[in-house]
Structures are given as C-alpha cells and as structure tokens.
Amino acid sequence: MRRKKKRKIMSDPEQRKVQTNGIWMNIAEQGSGPLVLLLHGFPQLCISWNYQITELAKHGFHVVAPDMRGYGGTDSPPNPASYTLFHLVGDLIGLLDELGQEQAFVVGHDWGAEVAWHLCLFRPDRVRALVNLGVPFRPRSPTAKPVELMSHMFGEGFYLCQYQEPGRAELAFARYDCLTVLKKLLLLGAPDLLTAPSGVEIIDFLDTPASLPPWITEEELRRSASKFQSSGFTGPLNYYRAMDKNWELLKPWQGSKITVPTKFIVGNKDVGFQAFGMKEYIEGGEFKALVPNLEVVIIDGHHYIQQEKAEEVTREILSFFSSFSPM
C-alpha cells in the first residue's frame, strides 16, 4: 500500500509589529532584496504563507506577510465601517511607507486578492507586478449593491448574507471551538453555493472533516485556532459587512481597468471557480478586457492553493516576478 506523503511543517519567520494607517499591524518577515507582500484571506493568517515566505526569501526577495486588519496580532477595530477597501489599501500603503519602499511585488489570496486588486486600482504606481489567487477582478454593478444581488440570486441562507448582521455569525461560531470552526471553513464540505437551508446557520451546515488533507496538519490548525481564540472572528467578518459600503465608495472607478502586469492562478476544483459563472468569466474575454496585461493559470486544486499546491504556486510566483528587471 502506498503511504501518504507527510507534509513538511515550515518553521515560522520572524514577526514584529509596525504602525500603519492608525493601527498596529503584525507582519512576518524574511529575506532581503526586492519587496514582496503576501496578503492572506478568510479565515487565515500570515503563517498560511510560510512556505512561500521561505522559498521567496531563498530566491533573493524581501518577503513581508501581514496579519491583515482584524486578524491575529494586528489591531481589530470593532466597527464594520473601519473595513472598507480604502482602509485595507491604506494599511498597505502605510506599510510600504514604513518599510521605506516605493514599490512592491504583491501576491493576494481570497480577500487578500480583493484588497490587492484595489491596491492596483487605486495606486498602480506602488505595485511592480501582481499575482492573485482564487478571486478574479470583477466589474462593479452599476445598479445593484452586492449583498442585495447575492440575496436575490442565492437566498438568505447564502453564507455572505448570513455574515451581514453584526454578532449573528459570531454567536453561531461560538457553539464550536475555534479549531472546529477553522476545519469547517478551510476544509469545506458543502454544496457549491454554500447556502444553508432556511433557519440553519452556515457554520452548522458545514461538515467537520473526519481527516485532514495532506497539505495541512493538526498542529498548524491548532496554532491558527489559538490566534483566533484571542482575536475572535468579528474583524474577519467585518470585511463582508463592508461590501455594500465599498460598492458606494467605488462609483468613481466604474469601468476602470487594472493596468499592473498580473498573473492570476486558480484551482480547477475551487468552489468559486466552478460556481457563480466564474469559470466562463475567467476563461472568456471580459476578465481580460478589465485586466489587459493578464496571464491566467488554472491548476489542479481547490481554494487554498497556496498551501495545497505550495510548490507549484511558488514556482508560478517566482517565474513571473523574476521576469521583471530588479527595482
């Protein structure tokens, strides 16, 4: 019988706190050379990039992965109004200033990808090149707020709709320990649309996996769970609660394009790729029209591909960033 290959646990890089945009931000940091920012998504932390931090640093990059606003060791303002894309991009501009860097290479995943797209939209002068994972740049609807649109399309049981009411998801999450919450959210076992039946909370609807995939260990999950035990889930959930406010604020950029050179990587089994018409959007002409300098790479994998396919994703990042002349 073939033995399952055990995933090597990466040691943590150095961590420290810096002040940016009115908050204290915790960052993991390693290496020297051109700066690379690694931006995590929901519900993860800077340590989800440990493999990329180590490998990119070995290849001559100064790698910085922050705990994003609301996560881990970074400040977590309680008000959803403090989590607009202007706040989140502002945190990164302040971080670049604090690090004394005019430009950075940027990699984003999930919500980190959303923030990275808007960093490129608002301040393309600060980004040398971009690699985004899982979440494509999407056009702003000229007429409908996103939560209203999602509720109409998928119903009130859709996870994004359930996350809107302050305290609701936190109360539901609190029925489980943080380790179980992370297992449910990171190792999804639900229909594609992530919509719970009427009267059922999404966290109750999601299965708790009986075993872990080879790309993550119980120890890694426990370490992340201990951080969420301290910081809670309100900050991460506030990203979703600011979506309609983002829609209002982004009106001046209606129809704008991303001009930064970009590689987009997505797993062919990612729920977000298979649902919502995203496969057709990514493979069709509309995505390319909005991001003209775009390369799309579809690999065999699910949503958390920076961990599931760490070596392959890191090779893609290195091949892309190495094609640019040194800063």
Does the pLDDT of residue 108 top 90, yes or no? yes
| pLDDT tens digits, 2-21 | 344 444 444 578 999 999 99
Task: Examine the residue annotation and report whether 51 is marked as an active-site residue of this protein.
Answer: no
Does the pLDDT of residue 190 top 60, yes or no? no
Task: Examine the residue annotation and report whether 240 is marked as an active-site residue of this protein.
Answer: yes
Of 51, 75, 303, 304, which one is the catalytic site residue? 303
Of 67, 75, 110, 270, which one is the catalytic site residue? 110
325 contact partners, CB below 8 Å, separation of at least 6: none
What pLDDT is stored for residue 2 in this prediction?
A: 38
Distances (CA, A) of 181 to 5, 113, 188: 26, 22, 11
Cβ(63)–Cβ(34) below 8 Å: no
Task: Examine the residue annotation and report whether 83 is marked as an active-site residue of this protein.
Answer: no
Cα separation of 92 and 108, whole Å?
A: 12
| pLDDT tens digits, 21-77 | 999 999 999 999 999 999 999 999 999 999 999 999 999 999 999 999 999 999 999
Mean pLDDT across 256-276:
93
* Cis? peptide before 124, omega within 30° of 0: no
- Tell me if the pTM is above 0.85: yes
What pLDDT is stored for residue 189 in this prediction?
A: 54
52 contact partners, CB below 8 Å, separation of at least 6: 38, 63, 65, 107, 306, 310, 313, 314, 317
Of 240, 270, 302, 304, which one is the catalytic site residue? 240
The domains found in the chain, sorted by start residue, are 15-323 (3.40.50.1820)
Q: How buried is residue 100: exposed, middle or buried, by Cβ count under 10 Å (0-12/13-18/19+)?
A: exposed
